[in-house]
Amino acid sequence: MLFLVNIIVAGLLAGLMYALVAIGFVLIYKASGVFNFAQGAMVLLSALTFVTLNEHGLPFWLCFIITVGVLIVASVLIEFLVLRPLVNRSPDTLFMATLGLSFVIEGLAQLVLGTDVHQLDLGIPDVPLKLYGLQVSDFDLFTAAVSILLVAVLALLFGKTRVGISLRAVADNTLAAQSIGIRLPHIWRIVWSVAGVVALIAGLLWGNRQGVQFSLSLVVLKAMPVLIIGGFSSIPGAIVGGLIVGATENLADIYIGPLVHGAVSDWFAYILATAFLLIRPNGLFGEKPIQRV
Amino acid sequence: MSASKLAGTAHLGGTVSQAPRLSGRRVAILVALILIYGVIPIVGNDYWLNSLIIPTIVMGLAGLGLNLLMGYAGLISLGSAAFMATGAFATFNLLLRLPILPLPVVLILAGLIAGLGGLIFGLPSLRIRGFYLSAPTLAAQFFLTWLFQTYHWFSNNSMSLVISAPRLEFFGYDLSSSRGRYLLVALTAGLLLLLAFAIIKSRIGRDWMAIRDMEVAASVTGVPIARRKLQAYVVSSFFLGVAGALWAFAYLGTADSNTFSLDKSFQVLFIVLIGGSASLLGNFVGAAFIVLTPIVLDILVPVLGLDTYIDQGSIANIEPIIFGALIIFLLIKEPDGLASLFSRTIRALSIWPLRR
Amino acid sequence: MRIKRSLQTLAGVLAAASVGLSLAPAHAADHANEQLYPLFSYRTGPYAPAGIPQWGGIRDYFNYINSHGGIDGVKVLVQECETAYTLERAFECYERYKHGYQGAQVAALFDTSSGFDATISDEARADKLPVVSVAGGREDAVDGAVFPYQFPVLFDYWTESSIVINYIAKQLGGLDKLKGQKIATVYHDSGYGRDTIEPLAILAKKYGFIDIEIPVPDPGEQQQAQWQQIKQQGVNWVFLRAWGVMTPVAIKTAARVGFPSDHIIGDIWSGSEEDVKPAGSAAIGYKAVTVFPSGSNFAISQTLKKEIIDPGKSDLRDTSKFGSVYYNAGLVSAIIYSEVIHTGHEKFGNRPLTPAEGQWALEHLNITPERVAALGATGLLSPLKLTPEDHEGEPSAKIQQWDGHHWNVLTGWLNGDRALFHDAIFAKAAAYAKQKNLPPRPTLTN
């Protein structure tokens, strides 16, 4: 029984890590309708920048600020060079453009910062605390706290500030938003920058677990089913989706895996996502588009 | 966007045909046929056939498969490589376990098996729309490749999980030389191109385009949506399955499930968008771009003497940067794909002598 | 205007493409006096960190050899071809270089991934080009009678299993103590990872330990479930057969569930600096099998340091990689290659060798302990003797332990119980020959 609880808890915590990556997707999807595959590359770029600066002896906060600066510059460039020329194009085209973008970002990041494997130590112990037999570490609690804090900050940002309200207007009706004077490129730059910061946080937490290296960009594959289950445009959806995927995936690996001679977490989340979609075709929290003839 | 799609859809190259130029078109097709089936097999050397031409044609065929689904029926798939894998593993097992079957029959059967896979993973499309269709297709991608890797029966218990071509022959002709494999690939591609042309000209093809342009309107006018969508998945997977079999056995000679990873699915998607959505020949142009660009970049570096200035590691990283940038550039500059660039070029060339 | 621009684009693309491609299979014989070493590298992608130091070791060694006139006066021409660790890029590289490059011939192809090694098997047989996998490659290819052109030299994963089990037995105080021990193998779910399932089953049957096999799907960035299972089942020892990012994640997750790091023994591809550094302090005490011991105190390393590294002629951008496990792996490959060419020179004269001569040289390679010493590689390279029947040599490896900064070698060269597997492996080779309908190899002559 305790074993089962531990499996589920571990899964939920892993799910929060997936959700962190998925939130970055959601922000961009809401603002620009782009399914941004380059989010994984952004995770890599941000973590790599951070860790390289850190290895040169800069203090934590300064590394963080400089990395955020780099991400803002990147967002402005992406908006100017990729998004603006592709405005009003089909979602497939935009998706492919972000795939191309991920090649560029990954290549540039590794060209400038090297392909080495880096250790990233946030200084938070990752050994079990043994709380009533639960296998939870300080790092797990920290991750959970960061996720909750992040969602709260984003909720405030988009619920209370001017930028946030503009963003919601853009997401709701782009044309109407423009007609009342909301400048689209401006909103995009801000949202991509915020998504960049989210990528940095995800990159730091993932990097602490597995080291900072190219494989970080592969976390998008874990984030995609999360996103699909939660709905592309919902931040709470990303969190709930993450928890669902994390827990069930862990359970499946342990209880279904041995029956089929292998690990199933490769595909399990995608089948699960499909099953969810059959019940709710726009994800758990997605909005249903209205079709007019 | 959709207007230009509609105009270009029904024609092979995406050009608008006009009666007086029809004879010119025929000549062009004849020249192309002679070139493809007569000249290239004689002139092409091993390296050109093996590493450049064969993969281009096979990937073009895969692009064609996805284009039928995406460009014509408007259904997104991120799992094309899974159906290629199905075709490849089906071919391997059919050749191995039913040795009496001739190669063409095996290829058709393998395509049909892949089509069945497409049918199963296409079922959710009856309820799921738009980009959410990435879920079932990605499920296909990861599940099918996992299946072929996990159950060793599919690779006949080979230690390395790699399958290799048991025999490539056609009525006694050995097709294992590069020339033989080229002819196999070129003939298959030619026949399937004709089939694709026939399909999009038929009622099914027109229904697909109606669904793509507006599903609600199509259903109101009596298009059997569910049936047409499933047909699109089956036909597309059939093409992909055959392409996968050719990729494994006419190009690489062997394959394992990693050969058909998500990256390959993305490559097929690139081919469709770069070649031109809802165009048939565009797929081969897109495939040429995808297959040749990395090789050209790799070869150009020592030719231009860049390797004396930059270290190998940097060069290796510059290549994907250029590749990614080229893709974005093409998506921006050529919204209708390279196919339309070519047809514009041909039109420009045909009026060029009269310009001054 | 638009037409003009697209015409220009098109012309540009076509010109670049044709310039590039027309120069590809160049026939100029500029390098006819050199021996080609095609290096199928991966400097990009998820496995680049494992690759780059290897290419550094290879290039630096040849650089050193060439600066002394080459191998018996024949210079080595390294042509690098980026594969990004994908099969089809490697395949294209193979097609590009199998007939040589600008007059320089290939005598033997040293491949760089086990996936490619498996893929190219038939093709290399048809091209009669010997393919060498240093410490990798398909198991049954040791049988030279069935696989005349494949050389999985130096090491194999079956022997590795046996070395690991022997080592565990030694820690416990004897092979009889293995009975009832729970030994879990956590493996990368691929052909490479599954290779040890069979030998471990044989070993478990022989010694009576409980063999638990736990797969981890590629790339392996999430292993909570697997390690929880290990903890739950009360596993005593773990044999970790990982690759790439899977290793540090495994070590970290083991620490998370409270599994002792010194009871994990890694595979040869899970035992480099790149594998343990990201895991930080969790990796202290972790052990791994190695055939490429790290360190820069070997005589050859000292020479390289003086002649290549210090003058700034190294291929490494980051020279702190000098002496690392992967750098030394590259060094070992390059040394073996040079010895193969040298062996061929003794028979055919000091000139570039053809693939057929390369095959002969490989099958008569004998790097004796004295020769290893003369090369300055004592402790780095284990003696290696190949014959037409045995394409591997006597596999041996050391066990090393990570102390947080360096790998410390704990043992001398260990030999596993290779004889135990002999029949099973040769039966596989025979089955392969039967399935492929291969004619028996003509009588081998010297």
For B141, which residue in chain A has the nearest alpha carbon?
A267
**Beta carbons of A14 and C224 less than 8 Å apart:** yes
- Which positions in chain C touch A6 (Cβ < 8 Å)? 228
Helix runs in B214-311, H state only? 215-220, 225-246, 262-275, 282-303
Alpha carbon B63 to chain centroid, angstroms: 2
Among residues C354, C400, C441, which one has the least CA distance to residue C35? C354
**Beta carbons of A267 and B1 less than 8 Å apart:** no
pLDDT, residue B216, reads 86
pLDDT, residue B1, reads 38
- Which positions in chain C touch A121 (Cβ < 8 Å)? 280
* pTM > 0.80: yes or no: yes
Higher pLDDT, C314 or B38: C314
Q: C72 pLDDT exceeds 50?
A: yes
Give the CA distances from residue C248 to residues B128, C192, C261, C400, in Å, rounded to whole numbers and listed in that order. 39, 18, 12, 16
| Vertex C39: Cα angle to C33 and C42 (nearest 5) | 160
Q: What does DSSP assign to residue C46?
A: T
Query: B81-90, C214-223, C250-259: which has the minimum mean pLDDT?
Result: C214-223
- Summarised one tens digit per residue, pLDDT across range C42-63 is 988 888 888 999 999 999 999 9
Among residues B236, B215, B239, which one has the least CA distance to residue B225? B215
Q: Structure tokens of C401?
A: 């332990």
pLDDT, residue C22, reads 56
pLDDT, residue C19, reads 55
Taking only residues 69 to 128 of chain B, the set having a beta carbon closer than 8 angstroms to any beta carbon of chain C reads none
pLDDT, residue C433, reads 86
**Does residue A63 lie in a domain region?**
yes
Q: Is the dihedral of CA B313, B316, B319, B324 positive or negative?
A: negative
Q: B17 pLDDT exceeds 70?
A: no
What is the C-alpha end-to-end distance of chain C, expressed in Å? 72
What is the C-alpha end-to-end distance of chain A, expressed in Å? 55
Q: B10 pLDDT exceeds 90?
A: no
Q: C3 pLDDT exceeds 60?
A: no
pLDDT, residue C428, reads 86
- Summarised one tens digit per residue, pLDDT across range A221-243 is 888 899 889 888 888 899 999 99
Does residue C196 sit in the same domain as residue C148? no
Give the CATH number of the domain where residue A226 resides: 1.10.3470
- Summarised one tens digit per residue, pLDDT across range B153-195 is 888 777 667 777 766 777 677 777 888 889 999 999 999 999 9
Domain total for chain B? 1
**Averaged pLDDT, A22-28:** 90
- Summarised one tens digit per residue, pLDDT across range A152-188 is 998 888 888 888 888 888 877 778 888 888 888 888 8
- Summarised one tens digit per residue, pLDDT across range C79-100 is 888 888 888 888 889 988 988 8
Percent of chain B with pLDDT over 70: 87
**Pick from B216, B320, B332: CB nearest A103:** B320
What is the rounded CA–CA span in Å between residue B288 and residue C439? Answer: 39
Contacts 24+ apart (CB under 8 A), C435-440: C435/B156, C438/C146, C440/C145
Distance from CA of B329 to the nearest CA of A (A): 9
What confidence tier does C163 reach under pLDDT thresholds 50, 70, 90? very high
**Beta carbons of B316 and C43 less than 8 Å apart:** yes
Give the CATH number of the domain where residue C73 resides: 3.40.50.2300
**Does residue A287 lie in a domain region?**
no
Query: A33-42, A83-92, C11-20: which has the minimum mean pLDDT?
Result: C11-20
Among residues C396, C204, B335, C285, which one has the least CA distance to residue A90? B335
What confidence tier does B222 reach under pLDDT thresholds 50, 70, 90? confident
Q: Is the dihedral of CA A39, A40, A41, A42 positive or negative?
A: positive
Q: Structure tokens of B166?
A: 């048991």
Give the CATH number of the domain where residue B26 resides: 1.10.3470
Give the structural domain span for C376: 25-155+295-392+428-436
Mean pLDDT (chain B, rounded): 84
- Summarised one tens digit per residue, pLDDT across range B238-258 is 999 999 999 998 888 888 888
Give the CA distances from residue A2 to residues A133, A139, C257, in Å, rounded to whole numbers and listed in that order. 7, 21, 14
- Residue C279 CB partners (closer than 8 Å, separation 6+): A119, A211, C247, C248, C251, C252, C255, C286
What is the interface pTM, i.e. ipTM, of the complex? 0.90
Taking only residues 207 to 226 of chain B, the set having a beta carbon closer than 8 angstroms to any beta carbon of chain A reads 214-217, 220
Q: Specify which residues C79 forms β-bridges with.
A: C38
Mean pLDDT (chain C, rounded): 87
Q: B25 pLDDT exceeds 80?
A: no
- Is there a contact between C227 and C253 (Cβ–Cβ < 8 Å)? yes
Percent of chain A with pLDDT over 70: 97
**Does residue A284 lie in a domain region?**
no
Percent of chain C with pLDDT over 70: 93
Matching residue, tokens 């290399």: C124
**Averaged pLDDT, B111-124:** 95
- Cis check: omega of the bond before A125, within 30 degrees of 0: no
What is the rounded CA–CA span in Å between residue B169 and residue A187? Answer: 61
Does residue C273 sit in the same domain as residue C299? no
- Summarised one tens digit per residue, pLDDT across range A129-162 is 777 777 788 888 898 899 889 989 988 888 888 8
Among residues B333, B199, B228, B321, which one has the least CA distance to residue B273? B333
**Beta carbons of A209 and C46 less than 8 Å apart:** no
Rg (CA), chain B: 21
**Averaged pLDDT, C246-255:** 92
**Does residue A289 lie in a domain region?**
no
Residue C205 burial (10 A CB sphere; 0-12, 13-18, 19+): exposed
Q: A271 pLDDT exceeds 90?
A: yes
Q: What does DSSP assign to residue C353?
A: P
Does residue C432 sit in the same domain as residue C300? yes
Mean pLDDT (chain A, rounded): 87
Distance from CA of B77 to the nearest CA of C (A): 22
Distance from CA of C315 to the nearest CA of A (A): 14
- Is there a contact between C264 and C286 (Cβ–Cβ < 8 Å)? yes
pLDDT, residue C29, reads 63
Higher pLDDT, C213 or B305: C213
Angle at which helix A184-210 crosses helix A39-55, to 10 degrees, equals 60
Give the structural domain span for B188: 2-354
- Collapsed DSSP state (helix, strand, coil) of residue B35: helix
Domain total for chain C? 2
What is the rounded CA–CA span in Å between residue B206 and residue B201? Answer: 7
pLDDT, residue B6, reads 40
> B333 in contact with C at a CB cutoff of 8 Å?
yes
Give the structural domain span for A171: 2-279
**Does residue C417 lie in a domain region?**
no
**Beta carbons of A210 and C232 less than 8 Å apart:** no
**Does residue A269 lie in a domain region?**
yes
Chains that touch A (3 or more CB pairs under 8 A): B, C
Percent of chain A with pLDDT over 90: 32
- Summarised one tens digit per residue, pLDDT across range A63-120 is 999 999 999 999 999 999 998 898 878 887 888 899 999 999 999 998 888 888 888 8
Does residue C180 sit in the same domain as residue C150? no
**Does residue C214 lie in a domain region?**
yes
What is the C-alpha end-to-end distance of chain B, expressed in Å? 33
**Averaged pLDDT, A198-218:** 88
CB atoms within 10 A of CB B29: 11
**Does residue A291 lie in a domain region?**
no
Does residue C190 sit in the same domain as residue C264? yes
Higher pLDDT, C12 or C168: C168
**Does residue A154 lie in a domain region?**
yes
Q: Structure tokens of A145?
A: 């706290």
- Residue C359 CB partners (closer than 8 Å, separation 6+): C108, C128, C130, C148, C149
- Is there a contact between A124 and A208 (Cβ–Cβ < 8 Å)? yes
What confidence tier does B318 reach under pLDDT thresholds 50, 70, 90? confident
Domain total for chain A? 1
What is the rounded CA–CA span in Å between residue C380 and residue A199? Answer: 43
pLDDT, residue C12, reads 59
Residue C313 burial (10 A CB sphere; 0-12, 13-18, 19+): middle
CB atoms within 10 A of CB B173: 11
What is the rounded CA–CA span in Å between residue A192 and residue A101? Answer: 14
> A143 in contact with C at a CB cutoff of 8 Å?
no
pLDDT, residue A92, reads 79
Q: B199 pLDDT exceeds 70?
A: yes
Interface list for chain C against chain A, based on CB atoms closer than 8 Å: 43-46, 48-49, 52, 189, 215-219, 221-222, 224-226, 228-229, 232, 244-245, 248-249, 252, 255-258, 274, 277-280, 282, 317-318
Q: What does DSSP assign to residue A200?
A: H
Query: B294-303, C46-55, C67-76: which has the minimum mean pLDDT?
Result: B294-303
Higher pLDDT, A17 or C238: C238
Q: B18 pLDDT exceeds 90?
A: no
Among residues C316, C266, C321, C270, which one has the least CA distance to residue C295? C321
- Is there a contact between C70 and C352 (Cβ–Cβ < 8 Å)? no
What is the rounded CA–CA span in Å between residue A247 and residue A53? Answer: 35
Last residue of a domain, one of C239, C265, C290: C290
Does residue C281 sit in the same domain as residue C209? yes
- Is there a contact between A16 and A143 (Cβ–Cβ < 8 Å)? yes
**Beta carbons of C96 and B51 less than 8 Å apart:** yes
- Residue A48 CB partners (closer than 8 Å, separation 6+): A109, A110, A113, A118, A212, A216
Last residue of a domain, one of C290, C318, C333: C290
Taking only residues 233 to 272 of chain B, the set having a beta carbon closer than 8 angstroms to any beta carbon of chain C reads 251-256, 258-259, 263
Q: C21 pLDDT exceeds 80?
A: no
